[in-house]
């Protein structure tokens, strides 16, 4: 699991006047809104005596710990300690990590890491030509979990040889052989354009697209620094479906999926349920396989599995993850496995700017490879 990436930690319309719990990278977080309605994300554990902030209240745009009422603002600073009285100074160490947060397309994105703003990647624009209010497009949302590592979950999303064996709706027995394909690395994503000939066995969609071409153009893109897959299926131009799935690692072996499904055909809301069920059906079929893969984390070397040329989209992604790992951005989950008397936090940008005066220690990170300038260098000694 990598720090210094953007992750979806919650849904905009589920974050209102009360704090909301979130989980990612094996850590707990709290989401809340300030008086201007801006979303904030803090490490969830109160530095006083370990209260769980998400179980508290939002008061005056700050989150109040349920235990002794300390209040933390959107920057993670404690602004009130009721037991101190107004004349006494709040200690500088009364703060928790606060993470850059942005809302886009109904998702609450949080940058879990300590890079300064100038070094943070931009969030991708998944729907450059569309507007969420465009009546020509209908948007659905959903979520699910895979009991597998996030890298394996993303690899599955671009896996070209599994459909015929896993997906009864569209896996085409005539298309077992994977055609050669190119992967384009545009710096932000790994991009493949190709054609498929799905079966489309079911109902209304088959009727909506009666004279669809035999071959369907697809664009499949893995975003690297905001782990997502965007698939656009040109069902029968201009009829098209776009599915963007964000993958949030909860634990090494548990991944949260949140997806947006956009379509510009059958846009009557009456078709929403059917459209959503199609995605959930596919997810369920994938889960039947993904929930049982071994080892839990992808092996350290590509040679530890027998990857083929036609697996290369996923394999290239695996390599990119390893490059980020080599920068010293991978959480050393095993090293912290038996800690029961310490809370750690993903380091936030304020911690890098001012490494002293923090109560909680940063998570342990695997050391950067020789020659890499690790983002959190020096902290992995714990
Ligand atoms: S534990 Fe949070 S205020 Fe005491
Ligand atoms: Fe699949």
Mean pLDDT by 10 residues, the chain (382 residues): 98 97 98 98 98 98 98 98 91 97 96 97 88 82 98 96 89 84 94 81 72 76 97 88 97 98 93 94 97 95 94 96 96 95 97 95 94 48 30
pTM of the predicted structure, to 2 decimals:
0.94
Beta-strand ranges (E) seen in the chain are 5-11, 20-24, 27-33, 39-43, 57-59, 62-64, 71-72, 78-80, 98-99, 101-104, 107-112, 138-146, 184-185, 189-196, 216-223, 228-236, 239-251, 254-263, 344-345, 361-362
How confident is the model at residue 132, as a pLDDT?
66
Verify whether ligand 1 is closer than 6 Å to residue 260 (CB atom).
no
Residue from 52, 57, 65, 95 whose mutation best tests the ligand 1 pocket (most atoms within 8 A of CB): 65
Examine the domain organization and report whether 315 and 344 are in the same domain.
no
Examine the domain organization and report whether 261 and 290 are in the same domain.
yes
Examine the domain organization and report whether 182 and 117 are in the same domain.
no
What CATH number is associated with residue 15? 2.102.10.10
Ligand 1 geometric centre to CA of 14 (Å): 25
How confident is the model at residue 205, as a pLDDT?
77
Residue 348 in domain:
yes
Cβ–Cβ < 8 Å for 141, 259: yes
Residue 40 in domain:
yes
How confident is the model at residue 217, as a pLDDT?
87
Residue 326 in domain:
no
The residue whose CA is least distant from atom 3 of ligand 1 is 68
What CATH number is associated with residue 244? 3.90.380.10
Q: For residue 148, give every residue at least 6 positions away whose Cβ sits within 8 Å of its Cβ, in sequence order, or none.
A: 253, 254, 255, 290, 291, 293, 296
Examine the domain organization and report whether 342 and 213 are in the same domain.
no
Which residues have CB atoms below 5 A from the ion given as ligand 2?
286
Asked which of 290, 321, 352 is the last residue of a domain, the reply is 321
How confident is the model at residue 198, as a pLDDT?
74
Q: How far apart are CA 39 and CA 29, in angstroms?
A: 13
Examine the domain organization and report whether 158 and 292 are in the same domain.
yes
Residue 367 in domain:
yes
Cβ–Cβ < 8 Å for 105, 127: yes
Examine the domain organization and report whether 151 and 116 are in the same domain.
no
Domain enclosing residue 210, as ranges: 138-321
Verify whether ligand 1 is closer than 6 Å to residue 56 (CB atom).
no
How confident is the model at residue 316, as a pLDDT?
97
How confident is the model at residue 140, as a pLDDT?
94
Residue 133 in domain:
no
Verify whether ligand 1 is closer than 6 Å to residue 82 (CB atom).
no
Q: For residue 304, give every residue at least 6 positions away whose Cβ sits within 8 Å of its Cβ, in sequence order, or none.
A: none
Query: Total domain count for the chain?
Result: 2
């Amino acid at each position: 699991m990598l720090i210094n990436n953007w992750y979806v930690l919650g849904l905009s319309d589920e974050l209102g006047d009360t704090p909301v719990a979130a989980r990612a990278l094996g850590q707990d977080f709290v989401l809340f809104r300030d008086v201007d309605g801006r979303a904030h994300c803090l490490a969830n554990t109160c530095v006083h005596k370990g209260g769980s902030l998400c179980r508290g209240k939002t008061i005056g745009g700050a989150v109040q710990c349920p235990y002794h009422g300390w209040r933390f603002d959107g920057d993670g600073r404690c602004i009130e300690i009721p037991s101190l009285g107004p004349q006494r100074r709040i200690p500088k160490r009364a703060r928790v990590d606060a993470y850059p947060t942005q809302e886009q397309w109904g998702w609450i994105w949080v940058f879990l890491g300590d890079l300064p703003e100038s070094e943070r990647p931009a969030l991708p624009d998944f729907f450059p030509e569309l507007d969420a209010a465009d009546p020509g497009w209908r948007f659905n949302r959903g979520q699910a979990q895979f009991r597998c590592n996030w890298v394996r979950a993303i690899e599955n999303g671009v896996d070209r040889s599994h459909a015929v064996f896993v997906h009864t709706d569209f896996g085409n027995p005539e298309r077992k052989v994977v055609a050669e394909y190119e992967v384009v690395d545009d710096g932000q994503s790994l991009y493949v354009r190709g054609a498929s000939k799905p079966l489309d066995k079911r109902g209304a969609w088959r009727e909506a697209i009666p004279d669809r071409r035999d071959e369907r153009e697809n664009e499949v893109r893995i975003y690297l620094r905001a782990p997502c897959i965007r698939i656009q299926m040109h069902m029968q131009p201009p009829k098209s479906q776009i599915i963007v799935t964000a993958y949030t690692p909860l634990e090494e072996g548990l991944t949260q999926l949140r997806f947006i499904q956009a379509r510009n055909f059958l846009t009557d809301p009456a078709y929403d349920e059917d459209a959503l069920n199609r995605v959930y059906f596919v997810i369920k079929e994938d889960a039947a396989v993904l929930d049982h893969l071994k080892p839990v984390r992808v092996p350290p070397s590509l040679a530890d599995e027998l990857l083929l040329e036609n697996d290369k989209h996923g394999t290239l992604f695996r390599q990119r993850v390893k490059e980020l790992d080599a920068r010293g951005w991978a959480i050393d989950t095993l090293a912290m496995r038996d800690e029961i008397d310490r809370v750690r936090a993903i380091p936030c940008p304020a911690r890098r700017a001012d490494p002293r005066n923090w109560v909680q220690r940063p998570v342990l990170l695997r050391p950067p490879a020789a020659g890499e300038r690790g983002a959190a260098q020096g902290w992995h000694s714990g």
